[in-house]
Structure 1
Amino acid sequence: MIRLLVVDDSALMRRLLGGVFGAEGDFEVAFARNGDEALAEHARFRPDVITLDVNMPGLDGLACLDRIMLDRPTPVVMVSSLTADGAEVTLDAMGRGAVDFVAKPGGAVSLEMDRLGPLIVQKVRAAARARLRPTLRLAERIRARTGSLDGASAGLARKPTRTPAPSPRSAPLPAPGPPEGIVLVGTSTGGPPALDALLSRLPADFPWPIVVAQHMPGSFTGPLARRLDGLCALNVQEASRPMSLAPGNVYVGKGDADVTIARRWSGLVVQPVPARADYPWHPSVDRLVASALDLVEPNRLVGVLMTGMGRDGAETMSALRARGGRTIAESEETAVVWGMPGELVRTGGASVVVALEDIADALLEMVP
């Protein structure tokens, strides 16, 4: 049985989520109405996974998440609204240790839950199997247990970061020009912190553009790009329109759509395109890589597949390697969910398999 703690101040949401997971037959579910009750149930019930509402009276979702991660780190799926503010707070939560998020149903909640229920169950199952890094906020946990960490320094009094302070750029951005190659990055569950770890280790003068397909709703990819732009030396932007590919730039595919490489009179561009039903996840990693292979020599492409459930990207990145390209898979030891990179390894499509903190170095070795 999977022990699930549902934390939500809405009685209707608790009842609906309880019904969804109760019907699965292998969940034991406990409930909490606010952050304080959640902490008490966390200690008593010792859940395997938690769904945590962002907005609650009293101890809100972020403050509750901080305490969970300091007391006994447990996989947490945030329940968030699909608004700009909701995206900012949710990305902040993932930076603090949350594994994934699901959209809070709007409108006719009961009808929406019928539609969203299978996805919520899938995400919670994946989170229950997620691997939390032993070093996750380790210094804070030690200070909290020794009494040297107060609430403010633990993040309990912090507000969501609206605009991260930009990190110093190590060199001027390269002038736009035809790229010699392209790095294609795919990720899903646990992706935002993984992207932070990868991109923050690359210099501003990295010679190839980087295109990212991160499974996310459309209201989240813009805030994600802005957040990453403030945390790394590269120039990060959402590919919300056709954009010329240029070195020193990272293009995050717009959510609820797909992202592809295309050729215009001015050269190669990255562009959003309507999502296709034959690709189950969006932005689709497989569709991104396939579009690049149609236009760029494989030896001028590097694919990077990081944490995420499912197998999106494994087939096309395996084809990329078979045709002379290079690929990097995140190792099982660091991936929150070793679905996507694990499939790439199982199909023999990974040129190298490395821990998250070593992906940037591997990439720098592959890109001239």
Structure 2
Amino acid sequence: MRSVISDILEDGGIDVVTTARDGREAVEAVMESEPDVVTMDVEMPEMNGIEAVEEIMTARPTPVLMLSAHTDENADVTFEALEKGAVDFFTKPGGEVSMEMSRLKDQLVDMVRSVAEVDVTGDGGGHQPGRSEPSITPDSVVKNATLVIGSSTGGPTVVEQILSELPVGADLRILVVQHMPTDFTGRFATRLNKRSEYAVREAGDGDRIGGGEALVAAGGSHMEVSNYRSGRLRVALTEDDPVNSVRPSVDVTMESAAEVIDDPLVGVILTGMGTDGARGIQAIKAASGTTLAQDEASSAVYGMPKRAVETGAVDTVCPLDELSDRILDAINAEVH
């Protein structure tokens, strides 16, 4: 695998300065070679990926792209590595790695280049432990509001922070579209459910949610809002062609929400590479919804938020630590 990945990256114009057999060697190699970016396997002998990422972030903060297999165990470990400071992850194919990796080489090269641009030396606008919790009740917010969140590179920990800060008293219906492969979105939903007051689950075709509930778009499927009545919305999952080269697509969910939902609607675009979400934000704005975007300083990759802002349809651009408050402002009954 190290040889295959090295060849792919070299062919893509990336200089591979060294390789390592395990996490301990990887930490030493980072200290000696001072690379721009590291690709790190999740499971390794001597020292695993989580431990290696933690040591690298302490000794010499360097952008890390995790390489993870399609298994539940690897998904859990990958999310832990993201918590420790890894920027994103790339799912390794099973079977004959050389054949499958070659098929995915363009995606891997693009991800390595994108991750290499991330500044991991600061806190990135991360969570402030002393942040005061807002006082919110169903009586203080507009009725039947829906929140749609779209994110990609660097998004999992950001989404987790926002959902952990939103009080269930706000009575939101929440739809999350995080660019993530099949087998990972279910574990992501489980993590969000544990860390949020909201009841969070991976979306299934035909699922309905009401206030205090959230759905995470399933990897490999678009999530469309198919029906909305009396404060409850229904979603449909489709395997239509990728939109903006991704599936699930933020645009698909946001555009369908804007078309179907006639109650208050809030759209948020978070860190990520690419253009997905720009059309969706325009659709929500056109439907008289409120639109927000994460600012450049707190975004791991200022791609998706930048493209959304460039449309002129974003109401407010703000750092991560202010986003949950701005969401609550948008549904504050006194403001409206």
TM-score, length-normalised on structure 1? 0.82
Task: State how far apart, in whole Å, the 1-side matches of 2:112 and 2:122 are.
Answer: 20
Pair 1:85 & 2:73 matched: yes
* SS of structure 1 residue aligned to 2:167: coil
| 3-state DSSP of counterpart to 2:255 | helix
Number of equivalent positions: 322
1:283 aligns with 2:271: no
Query: Are 1:44 and 2:32 an aligned pair?
Result: yes
Change (3 A) 1:136 1:313: closer
Contact 1:131–1:335, Cα closer than 8 Å, also in 2:
no
Aligned to 1:270: 235
Contact 2:190 2:201 in 1 (8 A): yes
Which letter maps to 1:194? V
Per the TM alignment, residue 276 of structure 1 is displaced from its structure 2 partner at its CA by 2.1
Tell me, what secondary structure is at the counterpart of 1:304? Answer: strand
Partner residue, 1:226? 190
**2:237 aligned with 1:249, yes or no?**
no
SS in 2 for 1:344: helix
- Unpaired segments of 5 or more residues in structure 1? 1-12, 139-169
Partner of 2:45: 57
Of 313, 330, 335 in structure 2, the residue corresponding to residue 366 of structure 1 is 330
In the alignment, the residues of structure 1 paired with residue 318 and residue 228 of structure 2 have an alpha-carbon distance, to the nearest angstrom, of 35
Moved more, 244-253 or 42-51: 244-253
In structure 1, what is the Cα distance between the partners aligned to 2:253 and 2:192?
A: 20
Counterpart amino acid of residue 72 in structure 2: A
Letter in 2 for 1:366: A
> What do the CA deviations read for 1:203-262 (whole angstroms, capped 9, x no partner)?
122222010011111200111111111112121111123222211111111111111101
Q: What's 2:13 paired with?
A: 25
Match of 1:160 in 2: none
CA deviations on 1:128-162 (whole Å, 9 max, x unpaired) are: 01132613799xxxxxxxxxxxxxxxxxxxxxxxx
Deviation at residue 275 of structure 1 after TM alignment: 3.9
Correspondence 1:207 to 2:171:
yes
- 1:187 maps to amino acid: S
Residue number in structure 1 paired with 2:130: none
Note if contact 2:17-2:33 (Cα within 8 Å) is conserved in structure 1.
no
- In structure 1, the residue matched to 2:257 is 292
Q: Residue 148 of structure 2: SS of its match in structure 1?
A: strand
1:34 alignment partner in structure 2: 22
Report the secondary structure of 2:19's partner residue. strand
**Corresponding residue number in structure 2 for 1:114:** 102
The 1-side partners of 2:93 and 2:200 are apart by 30
Q: What residue number does 1:127 align with?
A: 115
Q: In terms of mean alpha carbon deviation, does 42-51 or 19-28 score higher? A: 19-28
Greater alpha carbon shift after TM alignment, 203-212 vs 301-310: 203-212
The residue type paired with residue 257 of structure 2 is A
One-letter amino acid of the structure 2 residue matched with residue 195 of structure 1: V
Is the Cα contact below 8 Å between 1:50 and 1:77 reproduced in 2? yes
Q: 1:362 to 1:264 in 2, by over 3 A?
A: closer
Match in the other structure for 2:86: 98
- How far apart are residue 326 of structure 1 and its match? 1.2
Rounded Cα–Cα distance in structure 1 between residues aligned with 2:121 and 2:3: 32
Post-superposition offset of 1:198: 0.6
> In the TM superposition, what is the alpha-carbon distance from 1:20 to its structure 2 partner?
0.8
* Letter paired with 1:324: S
Structure 2 segments unaligned to the other structure (5+ residues):
127-133
Structure 2 residue aligned with 1:238 = 202
User: Which secondary structure does the structure 2 equivalent of 1:79 belong to?
Assistant: strand
Q: For the Cα contact (< 8 Å) 1:182–1:208, is it kept in 2? A: yes
Aligned to 1:331: 295
Contact 2:6-2:16 within 8 A present in 1 as well = no
* One-letter identity of the residue aligned with 1:280: S
Equivalent residue number for residue 55 of structure 2: 67
Cα distance in 2 between the residues matched to 1:255 and 1:67: 31
Q: Secondary structure at the match of 2:233?
A: strand
Change (3 A) 1:133 1:71: closer
Q: How far apart, CA to CA, are the structure 2 residues paired with 1:353 and 1:325? A: 15
CA contact (8 A) 1:183 1:303 kept: yes
Question: What's the CA shift for 1:39?
Answer: 1.3
Map 1:7-18; keep pairs closer than 5 Å: 13-18=1-6
The alignment's TM-score, normalised by the length of structure 2, stands at 0.89
